[in-house]
Chain A
Amino acid sequence: MKLDKLLCAAVITAAVSMGSANAASITGAGSTFAYPILAKWADAYRKETGNSLNYQSIGSGGGIKQIEANTVTFGATDAPLTVKDLDANGLAQWPQIMGGIVPVVNLDGVKPGELVLDGPVLAQIYLGKITKWDDAAIVKLNPKVKLPSQAIAVVHRSDGSGTTFNYTNYLSKVSPDWKSTVGENASVQWPVGLGSKGNEGVAAGVGQTKGAIGYVEYAYSKQNKMTYANMINADGKTVSPTSESFQAAAANADWAHAPGFYQILTNEPGATSWPITASTFMLIHKKPSDTAAVGEALKFFDWSFEKGTKMAEELDYIPMPASVVTLIKKTWTADIVDAQGKPIYAAK
């Protein structure tokens, strides 16, 4: 009997010490948009350091809820929290990775990049006020393209999505009509069109329907070789969706004067800026209870900024510009502290 107890105790001690030897494990939840790159980073990071990361892509809303409930080390969201919301929950926030949102169309005889659209026209189409491809407003932007007299089939996301948040945010910025009747959110009350689930659903919906228009993440339009449209940006210049134009939007954004990195990258100024750029934000508690895990997480994000850029580009994500990374690292040391007020992780 005594031996049993002794053995039992020994086993428990061994188990506990083995657990702690395994270092702090990082857990995260949120944005589905950031999932592919986080998974790729985590895999490379584990090979290099032996530390693993467990990320559940449950959607931005879920990520916010989980970090507020303190059940994960970090949350990830495509829609930034306002400073008020951050402070209320004692959270810090920064942009980790960017991507572009691209309008895609299915029009016979129109090649990728041939069609030019601007924000107000896009808003009118999604409001159901422009219903034909040969509408005067579209013809005016595309004098050289032969546009059919075909009904526009509008396709949008049906699931709540960070992509939709950024897209409707853009439409709200460029169209007062859109702002007052629909507004911006991860899901909205669409006046017209049909909803498809996920980027793949929208890509399929546009691909199958003649005369369709939709919006997808850049990676989807590129991988499926879809007919994307060029956009006229805030400076009135025509731009194509490329890594350079997404990065231009991020570089031209005034991050230094955005408290809590609250910055939505739509309709940014700059001659080369793509107007519908989006970033995924990481959320971490400023005074975390589990300092070891948060230290590990920051180490991982630091590593991602330093060594993860090539992997991001391979997956058609856009790394943050160096100037923004410097700003982010500064806030890490200043804001994320232990009980004694000392920085948990000192970035180089």
Chain B
Amino acid sequence: MTQIAAIAVLIILGGVIASLVSGSIPAFKAFGFDFITTETWNPVTDKFGALASISGTITTSIIAMVIAVPIGIGVAIFLTELCPPVLRRPLGIAIELLAGIPSIIYGIWGLFVLAPFLQQYIEPALIGTFANIPGLSSVFAGPPYGIGTFTAGFVLAIMVLPFITSISRDVFETVPPVLKEAAYGVGSTTWEVVWNVVIPYTRVGVIGGVMLGLGRALGETMAVTFVIGNAHRISASILAPGTTISATIANEFTEAVGDLYTSSLIALGLILFVITFVVLAFARLMLMRIESKKGV
């Protein structure tokens, strides 16, 4: 019985891959490898390229992780090591509730509350601060729309935060008290205990949590669609509008008339599948290497 269930999962996965591949054949036949390397996305002339969507997917996920990983681990450390016991439960529940909010709510909140706030206060400050620093001045350039790649990354960061925090907290709690007590016993500070005992002991679990968060950031659709600006362009500036794979599919599937258009959207889905697969495989590999090192 369990064996049948396990095989069924494989068959379903195989079916998904097969239908994605067969659906995207017309697009790859028409554009070949250029589909992945060109930025054009023109439904009028039936010319499609996925580069803008791919780059947007990766950029927003990186921004989300850059913001969410330090905060998420920080909150987990606070909850397990520093927080007064009275606050521990309510704070933990509050963070887990963040994970339960439907993504469309994040999208609407991002559009009506966060975007105007970023536009008025944060983005002008960012543009002003980095205006004279070469390199960074082009990353934080352009008019502050309030909507764009940065805003999308910011919303994603809030969405993946609970995943990273809860998992980190759970694994931090598995550290045997005797290890920490020993460290404190030889005169370590709290910071030294966290950095030299807790994190090394739980590294695998923390990376698992980060990867789970990254997986969600890569595929998140509705919230991103509302705040990313949906422009099929690659900009140096992270404040400029962009798009992601899932946002493009969600936006355009209903009105995609014509086989090549539909097929290109399915091909985008296949690419997202591959990206997610590679990320997860990479995470597994990393975990395996850490495990084997530990054995030595």
Contacts and interface: CB of A to CB of B under 8 A. Distances in A.
B226 A189 contact: no
Interface in A207-224: 208-209
Contacts of B15: none
Contacts of A62: 254-255
B87 interface: no
A194 B255 contact: no
A197 B226 contact: yes
Contact of A196 (B43, B44, B230, B243): B230
Contacts, number: 93
Interface in A144-196: 151, 153, 158-161, 182-190, 193-196
Interface string A45-70: 00000000000001111101100000
A266 to B, nearest CB: 16
Interface residues of A, number: 32
Contacts of A59: 254-255
A261 to B, nearest CB: 19
Interface in A54-95: 58-62, 64-65
Contacts of B42: 188-189
Given A64-B257, A158-B225, A204-B112, A188 B147 contact: no
Contact of A209 (B119, B226, B243): B119
A208 B112 CA distance: 8
A194 B256 contact: no
B229 interface: yes
Interface in A98-155: 151, 153
A194 B44 contact: no
B116 A194 contact: no
Given A158-B225, A182-B44, A187 B119 contact: no
Interface string B239-270: 00101000100111011110000000000000
A194 B251 contact: no
Nearest to B144: A209
Interface in B126-172: 143, 145-148
Main secondary structure of the interface of A (DSSP, over half): loop
Contacts of B112: 204
Contacts of A204: 111-112
B41 interface: yes
A189 B41 contact: yes
B113 to A, nearest CB: 10
A58 B229 CA distance: 22
B40 interface: yes
Nearest to A188: B44
Q: Which of A58, A62, A194, A201 has the most CB of B within 10 A?
A: A194
B255 A186 contact: yes
A61 B111 contact: no
B254 A194 contact: no
B251 A196 contact: no
Interface residues of B, number: 32
A195 B241 CA distance: 8
B104 to A, nearest CB: 11
Nearest to A184: B44
A209 B146 CA distance: 8
Contact of B230 (A61, A185, A186, A194): A194
Given A194-B231, A208-B119, A187 B143 contact: no
Contacts of A201: 111, 226
A185 B229 CA distance: 19
Given A61-B257, A186-B43, A188-B43, A197 B225 contact: yes
A184 B42 CA distance: 11
A202 to B, nearest CB: 11
Nearest to A159: B251
User: Which 8 interchain pairs have the tightest Cβ spacing?
Assistant: A160-B255, A195-B230, A158-B230, A59-B254, A183-B44, A194-B229, A194-B241, A61-B255
Given A186-B255, A194-B230, A209-B119, 18 more contacts: A58-B254, A61-B254, A61-B255, A61-B256, A64-B257, A65-B257, A160-B43, A160-B254, A186-B43, A187-B251, A188-B42, A189-B44, A194-B147, A194-B148, A194-B231, A204-B111, A205-B147, A208-B115
Interface of B: 40-45, 111-112, 115-116, 119, 143, 145-148, 225-226, 229-232, 241, 243, 247, 250-252, 254-257
29 contacts: A64-B257, A65-B257, A153-B143, A153-B145, A158-B230, A158-B243, A158-B247, A159-B254, A183-B44, A185-B43, A185-B44, A186-B255, A187-B251, A188-B44, A189-B41, A189-B232, A190-B232, A193-B231, A194-B147, A194-B148, A194-B231, A195-B230, A196-B226, A197-B226, A197-B230, A197-B251, A201-B226, A205-B147, A208-B119
